[in-house]
Amino acid sequence: MVNVALSNATVQENPLLTDYGTPFNLPPFYKIKNEHFLPAYEKAMAEHNREIDEIVSSQAAPTFENTVAAFDYSGYLLSEVGSIFSNLNSSHTNPELQEIAREITPLLSAHSTNILLNKDLFARIQTVNNQKENLNLNQEQSMLLEKTYKSFIRGGAALDGEKQERLREINSRMSVLTLQFGDNIRDETNSFELVIDNKEDLSGLPGDLLGSAAELAKERGYQGKWVFTHHNPSVMPFLAYADNRDLREKMKKTYINRCNNDNEYDNKEIIRELVNLRIERAGLLGYPTHASFVLEENMAGTPERVNEFLDELWEAAIPIAKQEAYDLQSMIYREGNDFRLMPWDWRYYAEKVRKDKFDLDEEETRPYFSMQNVIEGTFMVVENLWGLQFVKLDDAPRYHEDAEVYQVLEADGSHLGILYMDNYNRPSKRGGAWMSSFRKQSVRDGEFIHPVITINCNFSRPSGDSPSLLTFDEYTTFFHEFGHALHGLMSDCQYHTLSGTSVPRDFVELPSQVMENWARHPEVMTMFARHYQTGEVIPQELIGKIIEAGHFNQGFATVEYLATAIIDMDYHTLGEKKDFHPVEFEKRSMERAGLIPEIVPRWRSTYLSHIFSGGYSAGYYSYIWSGVLDADAFEAFVETSLFDRETAESFRKNILERGGTMDPMELYINFRGREPEIDPLLRQRGLK
């Protein structure tokens, strides 16, 4: 039980519970200590409970304003404290923060469940919902009422007492398991190191990778050696360029078996328990499967529609992947080798074929995509589209020296929001790339609350005199996350619940993925891509090679992604609880799909953080569903011009500003004038 009896002195001493006194009301990271979080959470939950009690105990008849809007406004302090803590625990964690997370997570789950199962609160919301036809609500108010009512139904408010009690137990247990799953991935990833002391074993590896590996070896006490890790900036180029096949095999096998080694980081039992708890919860709430429960809230609507969509794409992609495998095997034979192509060979020989077929070596492109160049290029694109300006704030509070802080201004110089960018990998940061917020946009007591957005990546750190040089994929990843940031920054909604990226999972990737289209465009690259040493603009010949090779290896990329999406759906369309072995389950899933042995799913079950510790369960398909939207949306610019202001403004007004205030298909039609078509995606990926 949380102890909420906090003294005034405790509150006054806690920077999370007092006025921040910082520019733009940014979190005062320089004051915040680990010991401040638990008392702040206790105070914030108590404050939230008080606000709920005020709504419930009101003698006035339930109305939209005194019940539904009041519920949306409640919990502001808890949102502030939780955003700061969760972002720090993801971006710059430590053992004490991790212990706090383990302690607070079940308490937060219980707090949320208690609110959703508060029968008096639900009765008031239900009363308002029953009167909705007579309330003359605007579009945003209607959507808030609909989503609020649904959240209580989906949270178990209509269940009897015994089922509600079981739901509390399930929610609490799942919150602990999802946290542990993610912790295990981070710790297992950080624990691996491939130490090389023989120079001959480094054959083929690019110089900047060797420089980073030598620096890391020195930091870890391996003087005169090289250390490679399972972090993407290390493992991916190692697999693409290391001539030593045995070492590639070791790197690949250990990478794809993370959290599957029967040690303290093993995730197999967590997967079994999580899947079965999700099945049980879906059944309690009246859904045949967890996927049915999730997809009710998404554009796709049903598991059947998702599976049909995945099947259509699989049928288009798998023949191309097989042809690519044939080409790679042919390269192996031409070199005089007789071994069969294996997963640890794919990236290595794909690079050889790319160079042979398109005269393109990925290492040729990296010098033109230094981190600073890419940031400046992104700013240029956004300024050309919407006139936004970015002013670096060197004196703003930061949680880590890597984080850069920018004030984002409208074209007229007015304040839009604050953007944190944290781009480099380190052991205290979880893997991958993501966008989040320290504060979402909303309107509160008549005041427009400007957003504070953060994006995180895991790119290679600058090494010696060399800046961080990005691969083409990393460069597009940065544009992707920046698109998410724009969705948060440009939000113009009344209610916190609906603002920014609070949209269905299979719609949220549209603003991010559409930005990748500009990243790949030749005109954009010539705007900013300059050699970090000579200042030379990226040559048109090299851009031509990049564009020509754009469809190369897309069978592989699409199939390894779809394989993970299929695994996700197979887990979450199970209708009954069962005992299963995750690795065997995954194997059977891939055999049914017809995955070729040369390709491994992009994310295997035991480190599939998207669905077992993130919010993408029964939703990993969303990236390619949104891919249909983004490819079709970008065609609106192709039909006009790359930086057509009228089209950009329409995209802003109908998509970026609107958050979850309307049905996503309506939002899209308002922008495009029609529903999206799949052909642009197939053309974009070379699948048609």
pLDDT tens across 314-366, in order? Answer: 999 999 999 999 999 999 999 999 999 999 999 999 999 999 889 988 889 99
Last residue within a domain, chosen from 106, 140, 158: 158
452-459 vs 415-424, strand pairing mode = parallel
- Asked whether the beta carbons of 656 and 664 are under 8 A apart, the reply is no
For residue 574, is pLDDT > 60?
yes
Give percent of the chain with pLDDT exceeding 70: 98
Is the Cβ–Cβ distance between 616 and 626 less than 8 Å? Answer: no
**Residue 7, pLDDT score:** 45
Tokens 């984002």 — which residue?
Answer: 408
Q: Does some domain include residue 272?
A: no
Q: Can you tell me the mean pLDDT for 115-136?
A: 96
The answer to whether 540 touches 341, Cβ cutoff 8 Å, is no
Predicted pLDDT of residue 11: 60
What HEC string does 180-213 produce?
A: HHHHHHHHHHHHCCEEECCHHHHCCCCHHHHHHH
pLDDT at 6: 47
For the ranges 267-276, 425-434, 603-612, the lowest mean pLDDT is seen at 425-434
Together in a domain, 435 and 528: yes
Contact (CB, 8 A) for 192 and 227: no
User: For residue 101, which of 146, 58, 192, 37 has the smallest C-alpha distance?
Assistant: 37
Same domain, 50 and 97: yes
Band of the pLDDT at 126, cuts 50, 70, 90? very high
Residue with the two structure tokens 């019940």: 67
pLDDT on residue 12: 64
Tokens of 9: 């002195």
Q: Which of 650, 317, 615 is nearest to 514 (CA)?
A: 650
Separation between Cα atoms, residue 67 and residue 583, nearest integer Å: 48
* Alpha-carbon distances of 39 from 8, 109, 153, rounded to whole Å: 12, 17, 31
The predicted pLDDT at position 1 comes to 30
3-state secondary structure 587-627: HHHHHHHCCCCCCCCCCCHHHCHHHHCCCCCCCCCHHHHHH
Q: State the DSSP code for 406.
A: E
Local confidence band at 249 (pLDDT 50, 70, 90 cut-offs) = very high
Q: Quick one: 491 and 564 in the same domain?
A: no
Task: Based on the fold, state whether residues 537 and 576 are members of the same structural domain.
Answer: no
Quote the radius of gyration of the chain (alpha carbons, Å). Answer: 25
What's the mean pLDDT in 304-313?
96
pLDDT score for 321: 97
In the prediction, which pLDDT does 2 show?
37
Query: Within this chain, do residues 508 and 530 fall inside the same structural domain, yes or no?
Result: yes
H helical segments located in 94-201: 95-116, 119-130, 139-154, 161-191
Of 315, 311, 295, which Cα lies nearest the Cα of 303? 295
- In terms of Cβ atoms closer than 10 Å to its own Cβ (0-12, 13-18, 19+), residue 368 is buried
Q: Is residue 581 part of a domain?
A: yes
Q: Are residues 311 and 393 in the same domain?
A: no
Q: What pLDDT, on a 0 to 100 scale, did the predictor assign at position 685?
A: 86
Average pLDDT over residues 559-579: 97
Q: What is the mean pLDDT of the chain?
A: 95
**pLDDT of 555 higher than 70:** yes
Task: State how far the Cα of 362 lies from the Cα of 116, in Å rounded to an integer.
Answer: 51
| In contact, 507 and 619? CB cutoff 8 Å | no
Q: Is the pLDDT of residue 196 over 70?
A: yes
pLDDT value at position 431?
85
**Predicted local distance difference test score (pLDDT) of residue 666:** 96
On the 0-12 / 13-18 / 19+ scale of CB atoms within 10 A, 133 is: exposed
Task: Find the domain containing 209 and state its range.
Answer: 192-256
DSSP letter (8 states) at residue 537: B
| pLDDT for residue 255 is more than 70 | yes
- Among candidate residues 5, 10, 25, the one with its CA nearest the CA of residue 83: 25
Domain presence at residue 620: no
Which residues are designated catalytic?
A: 481
Q: Which of 609, 630, 654 is the last residue in one of the domains?
A: 609
pLDDT higher than threshold 90 for residue 384: yes
- The per-residue pLDDT for range 391-404, each reduced to its tens digit, is 999 999 999 999 99
Please check whether residues 329 and 406 belong to one and the same domain.
Answer: no
Q: Are residues 326 and 439 in the same domain?
A: no
- Return the ∠ at Cα 21 (arms to 17 and 23), rounded to 5°: 130
Q: What is the CATH number of the domain that holds 516?
A: 1.10.1370.40
Are 391 and 245 in a shared domain?
no
Taking each helix axis as running N to C, give the angle between helix 622-638 and helix 510-519, from 0 to 180 degrees, rounded to the nearest 10: 50
Does 164 fall in a domain? no
**In a shared domain, residues 359 and 404:** no
Q: With bands split at pLDDT 50, 70 and 90, how would you rate the model's confidence at 688?
A: confident
Instruction: Tell me the residue type at 480.
Output: H
From start to end of 39-90, where are the E strands? Answer: none
Instruction: Write the Ramachandran bin of 596: left for phi over 0, alpha for psi from -120 to 50, otherwise beta.
Output: beta
Give the per-residue pLDDT at 100. 97
Flag whether 483 is in a domain: yes
Q: Cα angle vertex 202, ends 197, 206, to 5°? A: 135
Split into its structural domains, the chain has a count of 4
Residues 132 and 393: their CA atoms lie apart, in Å, by 46
Answer yes or no: do 507 and 576 share one domain: no
Q: Where are the alpha helices (DSSP H) in 490-553?
A: 505-508, 510-519, 522-528, 540-548
H runs (alpha helix) in 220-342: 232-241, 245-256, 268-284, 290-295, 303-334
What is the average pLDDT across 1-28?
75
Is residue 686 predicted with pLDDT exceeding 90?
Answer: no
pLDDT at 484 over 80: yes
**Per the domain annotation, does 222 fall within a domain?**
yes
Q: Which of the pair, 11 or 515, is modelled with greater confidence?
A: 515
CB proximity list for 92: less than 8 A, separation 6 or greater: 399, 400, 426, 428, 429
Mean pLDDT over 666-672 rounds to: 97
Burial of 492 (0-12, 13-18, 19+ CB in 10 A): middle
Residue 281 inside a domain? The answer is no
Pairing of strands 389-392, 404-409: antiparallel
Dihedral over alpha carbons 198, 204, 209, 215 (to 10 degrees): 20
Among 100, 135, 158, the domain boundary falls at 158
pTM above 0.75, yes or no: yes
Residue 328 lies in a domain: yes
Beta-carbon contacts of 593 under 8 Å, excluding residues fewer than 6 positions away, are 314, 563, 566
When pLDDT is averaged across residues 61-74 and rounded to a whole number, the result is 98
Mark whether 236 and 197 lie in a shared domain.
Answer: yes
Q: Is the pLDDT of residue 411 over 80?
A: yes
